[in-house]
Amino acid sequence: MTVVTTASRTAARVQDAVKVYGSGDTAVRALDGVSVGFPAGRFTAIMGPSGSGKSTLMHCAAGLDTLTSGAAYIGDTDLGALDDRRLTLLRRDRIGFVFQAFNLVPTLTVAENITLPLDLAGSRGDAEWIDALVDVVGLRDRLHHRPAELSGGQQQRVAVARAFAGRPDVVFADEPTGNLDSRSGEEVLGLLGRAVRQMERTVVMVTHDPVAAAHADEVVFLADGRLVDRMESPTADKVLDRLKAFEVPS
């Protein structure tokens, strides 16, 4: 009998990750030996003070940037072993992205934006899945609108649907609520949470915001390019308390 242990599978991970920007006197060690796994079927938030390496970790884990040393894996695939073409294909086929700026194509409708990654891949995708996604993000009555006709929150919901359209192994979200008011932000975070819990997806989110991080199943904390803590079942208050401990007294 095959036992599927989704909870223990790792969708993405880095091992002994070091990232140095620049060289000589101006070198910055943005990641200083980070090992962390992001379990499949879970919503993980990455937090830490400004400059602690959150975006660098996300970019290296997602194959958008390369490590100076150490390794990054999506599932069992070692990103360092891929040439540029294979890395591009892996990002296209196995990873979804949501950025602070929604990055929608203004000339395309909502429906076309959602299926754009699939269209670029020459794939028709899974029509039932995309149909279900449209309902989850609540955009059924906006499918033929263009991004400029939508609110910021609605545009980010399109970006969320687009990120999940190809059923990627993992969706990376970099400050997805950074450009939204708190109500729209809550909606987008609720969506990410529902995608994980109801649709068995995996989300890794970089955020500054303890309220946003509280939507995750677990928070990992970075400080000075190192992993310093992990917190299960976060609340905004607990996260805020943990962050305060990083503050250097002036």
Ligand X SMILES: Nc1ncnc2c1ncn2[C@@H]1O[C@H](COP(=O)(O)OP(=O)(O)OP(=O)(O)O)[C@@H](O)[C@H]1O
- Residues in contact with ligand X by the rule CB under 6 A: 21-22, 28, 30, 48, 50-56, 208
Kindly tell me which of 18 and 132 has the beta carbon lying closer to ligand X: 18
Q: Are 216 and 43 in contact (CB under 8 A)?
A: yes
How far is it, in rounded angstroms, from Cα 33 to Cα 75?
20
DSSP 57: H
Q: Are 94 and 170 in contact (CB under 8 A)?
A: yes
Q: How far is CA 213 from CA 88, 117, 183, 206, 238, in A?
A: 29, 27, 15, 9, 10
Beta-sheet strands, E only, within the chain? 10-21, 28-39, 43-47, 69-74, 77-78, 95-98, 170-174, 203-206, 218-223, 226-232
Kindly tell me which of 52 and 113 has the beta carbon lying closer to ligand X: 52
Instruction: Give least dist CB 83 to ligand X, A.
Output: 23
Instruction: Give least dist CB 103 to ligand X, A.
Output: 17
Kindly tell me which of 53 and 63 has the beta carbon lying closer to ligand X: 53
Instruction: Give least dist CB 136 to ligand X, A.
Output: 28
Kindly tell me which of 178 and 193 has the beta carbon lying closer to ligand X: 178
Q: Are 230 and 47 in contact (CB under 8 A)?
A: no
C-alpha neighbours within 13 Å on the C-beta side of residue 189: 25
Instruction: Give least dist CB 57 to ligand X, A.
Output: 7
Instruction: Give least dist CB 177 to ligand X, A.
Output: 14
Kindly tell me which of 17 and 118 has the beta carbon lying closer to ligand X: 17
